Structure 1
Amino acid sequence: MRRRVAFLFLGETLLIPHLFPIVEALAGLDPGLPIDLWVATSVHEDLLTRWTAEFRSVRIRRAPGFRTVRASDGRNPPLPPKLPILLRLVPYLLRTPVAVCAEQTSLWIPRVLPWLPTRFVKTSHGVGSMSARDDRRRMAAFHTLVPSEQERRTYLDRGMAPERIIATGYVKAAFRQRTPAKALFADERPILLYTPHWQAHRSSWPAWGRAVVEQLGAQRDWNVILAPHQRLVETAPEVREVLAGVSGLPHVHVDLDSFAMVDGSYTAVADLYLGDTSSQLIEYLVRPRPALFLDPAGRDWRADPGYAMWAAGEVVTDLADLAPAIARAPERHAGFLAAQTRTAADAVGDTSGAGAGRAAEEILRVLAMA
């Protein structure tokens, strides 16, 4: 097969910052290497075309089933069905030694077609104690790239061969195309970011979401960014109506669609994180700051390793205590600083941005084996 690498940008735009820094690093390490970026929609195409103009060997390719959508500003688009896209991609991948993806769905190809000569490299996007690691498709990847040694150990414990799981550092730390987010509000106040998870069993939204939004809209001590997980609207369509009720307030910024939701802009600018189990917390804790967690179910979370991240801040189990908890979070932060530092370091390892380069080097190593 001809020397070539394919990157699969077939999922939500939230995956782009976990993949694109590797594209940049790979194009820099091996400027003559043909790199195909397979895209599912015109939103992906517009963003990646803008960022790859300087790389002559990088080509944007429309995946079979490509969808043209009206949005051209990075808003998360409706995606075409992924399994038909993957099936129709197989003839193209037969001529490609290495394919790189950031989600499990693409790993159906090597799982169902293990004879395919293409070697799949899977890079992480979700991190932290709640990440799903038991999906059997993950075992079909030729190599898996994770951010930290702790994360690597979780896969070794599940039986993955040591030579197939590599800790690189946090790739998204190298993403340079963030949306400026500092000028969102007219008045200078500290900024609170509320990011409930999209899966109901992990999220504070079903039980408390509406009430939390009402409280945040009614208070005036904080500027508020309401930017829940990108997929929450799919599972809880009432989110748009609830957030629309406060979107006109001068101290509230609502975002359910833009690329800023997923590129790290809001976690970078926030002074207080309010959420539940989203991996955005780990991204936020790379620079430790106050955090609060919402637990409507009153879980025995200290006995569950899946909730280890909640050691990084106060856990609110009574909605009546939310406002006082927000008020005291800055002064109590020092008591959580050590846990925050440990949580971030364990989950994402090196956050200098060097992870993208290490991932690119690993891809070249896999390419040399093909």
Structure 2
Amino acid sequence: MKAAPIAFLFLGETLLIPHLFPIVEALADARPDLPLDLWVSTSTHEQLLAGWTAHLPQVRLRRAPGFRRLAATTPGERPILPSKLPMLLRLAPRLARTSIVVCAEQTSLWLPRAFPWMRTRFVKTSHGVGSMSARDDKRRMAATYTLVPSEQERATYLARGMAPDRIEATGYIKAAFRQRTPARALFPDALFADNRPVLLYTPHWQAHRSSWPAWGPQVVDQLRRQRDWNVILAPHQRLIERAPELRETLARVADLPHVHVDLDSFATVDGSYTAAADLYLGDTSSQLIEFLARPRPAVFLNAHARAWADDPAYAMWRAGEVVDDLADLLPALARAPARHAEYATTQRDIASAALGDASGAGGARAAEAVLRVLANPGPHR
């Protein structure tokens, strides 16, 4: 009898794709006989995944109810998503006929939380890391099995009551994503006219955690006026949605030869810019942890005047100088390379603790975990 398919939900932002697709590849390699259904919400998702799965005969791309066909765009350009909850409700009867659903966000876990009698087992994989990751959402407990990058991250869920046999540390799955925009296509000649070091500014998307609402335009203005650094401005997709003034602010500097603005392409989410940058400037975004997998200088913006030194939520700020006054920003950037030796060991410790194994083996380990869930038809929640 033909095996029931394993479903992967590519319904949310494209930033989730690199955290999910390595599991697809590893499963396809380990079990060529196992059908894999990749449910997509837009033609952008479909276009990306079609190019990467054309050689995998057991993979089927499926359009979720409410699928949105977008006008012709650059491959990977940030899509406008259909409403996810109506899509999930319409998709639920089809998912009920699958053995396992793999997702990378909490919204999809409304299904097992709202319909606990569903026999389909949900495997949730992480997409954010670091001391500020949100872990208290009750939907997370509805997953049959949870995949996290590190033992440190696993411990945070155990402390919240998750059963030890329902959560596993696999290593950082995104490190196994092979479809990143090649560095040679980004850096340096394709972006900048000269070979200055590259700074990446990535404010968090949530206002209470972000430097953007209070300081963002002033930071951009200071980066516009200086000439020691080439600058990449590639904000989080959700910040672009929540801060409508951001597009206009960045448009005013987009034509400068030492500034590269990217608001929509897949390179903003696939790890290309964190790989290309020489210095990270930000606040509390989990992209810092990804950046620190290869330690480099970092500078943090304390736009909310936090008393952060003894706050475990701000543990990542031990990885570089913290700017409390915007008048100190450019001096802090100037001294960051020379001061990096002070922070390099701490950076390695932070990255190792948060990411676990970042060698690229996480996708295969996650696939093995999915197969163990598949082989165990016992109680699922």
Please report the TM-score for the alignment, with normalisation by the length of structure 2: 0.96
1:233 aligns with 2:226: no
What do residues 161-209 of structure 1 show as CA deviations (whole Å, max 9, x unaligned)?
Answer: 0000100000000111111321311111100000001100000000100
CA distance in 2, matches of 1:186, 1:62: 42
What do residues 102-143 of structure 1 show as CA deviations (whole Å, max 9, x unaligned)?
Answer: 000000000000000110000000100000000000000000
Q: Secondary structure at the match of 2:9?
A: strand
Paired AA for residue 11 in structure 1: G
What do residues 216-258 of structure 1 show as CA deviations (whole Å, max 9, x unaligned)?
Answer: 0111111000011111111110000000000000010001100
| 1:152–1:166 Cα contact (<8 Å) kept | yes
How do 1:107-146 and structure 2 match up within 5 A?
Answer: 107-146=109-148
CA distance in 2, matches of 1:246, 1:133: 37
Q: Secondary structure at the match of 1:36?
A: strand
How do 1:340-359 and structure 2 match up within 5 A?
Answer: 340-359=347-366
1:285 aligns with 2:286: no
1:188 aligns with 2:190: no
What do residues 27-75 of structure 1 show as CA deviations (whole Å, max 9, x unaligned)?
Answer: 0000110000000000000000000011100000000000011224111
How do 1:192-271 and structure 2 match up within 5 A?
Answer: 192-271=199-278
| 2:3–2:34 Cα contact (<8 Å) kept | no
Match of 1:149 in 2: 151
What do residues 280-329 of structure 1 show as CA deviations (whole Å, max 9, x unaligned)?
Answer: 00000000000000001221112211111000010000000000000000
CA distance in 2, matches of 1:172, 1:198: 20
- Count of residues in Structure 1 that have an aligned counterpart in Structure 2: 370
Paired AA for residue 289 in structure 2: I
Match of 1:69 in 2: 70
1:9 aligns with 2:16: no
Match of 1:304 in 2: 311
CA distance in 2, matches of 1:255, 1:100: 30
Point out where structure 2 has 5 or more consecutive residues left out of the alignment.
Answer: none
Match of 1:164 in 2: 166
CA distance in 2, matches of 1:258, 1:197: 18
CA distance in 2, matches of 1:245, 1:175: 33
CA distance in 2, matches of 1:4, 1:73: 28
Q: Secondary structure at the match of 2:214?
A: helix
Tell me which stretches of 4 or more aligned residues in structure 1 moved more than 3 Å: none
CA distance in 1, matches of 2:122, 2:304: 39
Paired AA for residue 357 in structure 1: A
311, 316, 322: which one pairs with 1:315? 322
| 1:9–1:40 Cα contact (<8 Å) kept | yes
What do residues 337-365 of structure 1 show as CA deviations (whole Å, max 9, x unaligned)?
Answer: 11100100010100010010000000011
Match of 1:48 in 2: 49
CA distance in 2, matches of 1:110, 1:2: 22
CA distance in 1, matches of 2:241, 2:192: 28
CA distance in 2, matches of 1:194, 1:350: 26
| 2:41–2:63 Cα contact (<8 Å) kept | yes
CA distance in 1, matches of 2:34, 2:74: 29
| 2:205–2:239 Cα contact (<8 Å) kept | yes
CA distance in 1, matches of 2:26, 2:133: 26
Match of 1:326 in 2: 333
| 2:3–2:35 Cα contact (<8 Å) kept | no
| 1:2–1:96 Cα contact (<8 Å) kept | no
1:335 aligns with 2:337: no
Shift of 1:3: 2.9
Please report the TM-score for the alignment, with normalisation by the length of structure 1: 0.99
CA distance in 2, matches of 1:278, 1:27: 32
Q: Give the % identical residues.
A: 72
Paired AA for residue 207 in structure 1: A
Shift of 1:2: 3.9
Q: Secondary structure at the match of 1:301?
A: coil
Paired AA for residue 55 in structure 2: E
Paired AA for residue 344 in structure 1: A
CA distance in 2, matches of 1:132, 1:305: 14
